[in-house]
Amino acid sequence: MTTNYTVTAVRDVSADLKAEQPIWMIELDRGDGSLLHAVCFPHELFGLRVAQYGIDPEDFDSLLGIALHEQYMDLGPHRPDFVYHVDEKTARDGHLGRLAELRKQYTHNDPDNLFEKIRSAYDPNDPKNEERRALVFSIRMQKAMTTEGPTK
């Protein structure tokens, strides 16, 4: 069964939450009279997933899809394709595979083009992306040195 959501608002809720980092909130309506649903994530999430999974920073649709669907993913370290237990390609393929399956179960319609607010604020050339990738590489190397984990 597919759950269809309609995007009703996109806003930065950092001030409301007195958050130390910027946070997006996407409000969603299922259209069935149930309570409004929301997905919240830090602005930095896209850069983190670029670093962890080697996702193309220009691939906004995949990054947004990850932000919308990760809440439904089992991402624990017990998974054989856990991001720090395997090489980048294996982790990416596993994550994008889970995303593809979840997109069949949960759709997010944006008739008012509200996601554009996030797209316009996102910088795929964020200079922090290289720092993040170096940190992820370091974690993978440490894992490889302590177990029979990945070396890339």
Q: Find the mean pLDDT for residues 124-147.
A: 87
Q: Which residues contact 114 (CB under 8 A, 6 or more apart)?
A: 7, 8, 9, 10, 26
Distance from C-alpha of 110 to C-alpha of 98, rounded to nearest angstrom: 22
The pLDDT tens digits for 32-84 are: 877 679 999 999 999 999 999 999 999 999 999 999 999 999 888 888 888 88
CA 24-87-152 angle, to 5 degrees, is: 110
Confidence of residue 151 (pLDDT cuts 50, 70, 90): very low
Distance from C-alpha of 45 to C-alpha of 128, rounded to nearest angstrom: 12
Q: Which residues contact 39 (CB under 8 A, 6 or more apart)?
A: 25, 26, 28, 67, 68, 71
Q: Where are the domains positioned within the chain? A: 3-146
Sheet order of strands, 106-109 included: 37-42, 23-29, 3-12, 106-109
In residues, how long is the chain?
152
Q: Residue 147: pLDDT above 70?
A: no
Q: What pTM was computed for the model?
A: 0.87
